[in-house]
Amino acid sequence: MKRILILISLLFALNTVSAEQGEFQLMFGAGGYFPLKQYTQNKNVYIYASYNIPVAFYFGFTDNFDLGITGSFTRLTDTNVDTTYNGLSGREYFDYYHININGRLRYNWLPGYVFFAPHIFIGMGNNIENFSNRQFFVDGSKLYNDFNKGSYTDGTLNFQVGIDFTSRVWWFFLLNLELVYNHTLENTNFFELNFYIGFDWFLKSYGGR
């Protein structure tokens, strides 16, 4: 009897992992933002890593292809850039907020594994950046009080490519780990390494369970 129950559970698990057509996935997570190149007003920014907050939504229109919408949020404080103002050379400091929204096409390149689905994906969307709390320093640490440039927001087209590994750990609960490379039209390049926890459900009229 015990062997029969194990066999039934294994067959059920195989079915739930394989039946991706008509499947919705919603995932939330946390991760890291790792910039390679970043610019503001055509100037190279001094950059460093920060946290990343991602969210992802996918729909399986075939067993191995998914369409998705993803977003991520990053915040860095005291990012800086060498610049000039009123004939003075110095360094501008500012707070940086980053929102990345993309559509994705995802493909399961190794189907048929129980509890495990590796994907490759491509995406395109909008990279929105906000620069606020701007201050200008000269001679290393002297604040220039007449600096009066305000906050501004910029957006540009973003392209991405990446890989992820999804595991259905129990019933409809999911774990996902992804690595994403992003490139914008303004030559800003960055990686995201994100870990998600999520769940799935099926559209029965589309062939789901």
The reported pLDDT for the residue numbered 112 is 79
Residue that wins the pLDDT comparison between 41 and 28: 28
33 inside domain: yes
What's the Cα-to-Cα distance from 114 to each of 59, 74, 99, 169, rounded to whole Å?
Answer: 20, 34, 35, 10
Residue 103 tokens read as: 């559509």
Neighbours of 204 (CB within 10 A): 9
17 inside domain: yes
Based on the structure, what is the number of domains in the chain?
1
CATH assignment at residue 132: 2.40.160.20
pLDDT (mean) for 78-104 = 91
Residue that wins the pLDDT comparison between 11 and 136: 136
The reported pLDDT for the residue numbered 193 is 97
115 inside domain: yes
Tell me if 198 sits within 8 A of 204, measured CB to CB.
no
For the cut 50, the answer to whether the pLDDT of residue 177 exceeds it is: yes
Phi-psi region of 22 (alpha: psi -120 to 50; beta: other; left: phi over 0): left
For the cut 60, the answer to whether the pLDDT of residue 72 exceeds it is: yes
pLDDT (mean) for 194-207 = 81
Range of the domain at 68: 2-204
34 inside domain: yes
Residue that wins the pLDDT comparison between 116 and 177: 177
- Band (pLDDT 50/70/90 cuts) for residue 8 is very low
pLDDT digits (tens, 9 = 90+) for 161-176: 999 999 988 888 999 9
pLDDT (mean) for 144-169 = 93
- Band (pLDDT 50/70/90 cuts) for residue 68 is very high
The reported pLDDT for the residue numbered 161 is 98
pLDDT (mean) for 12-31 = 70
209 inside domain: no
Amino acid at position 144, single letter: Y
Model pTM?
A: 0.82
26-35, 42-51, 176-185: least confident range: 42-51
The reported pLDDT for the residue numbered 47 is 74
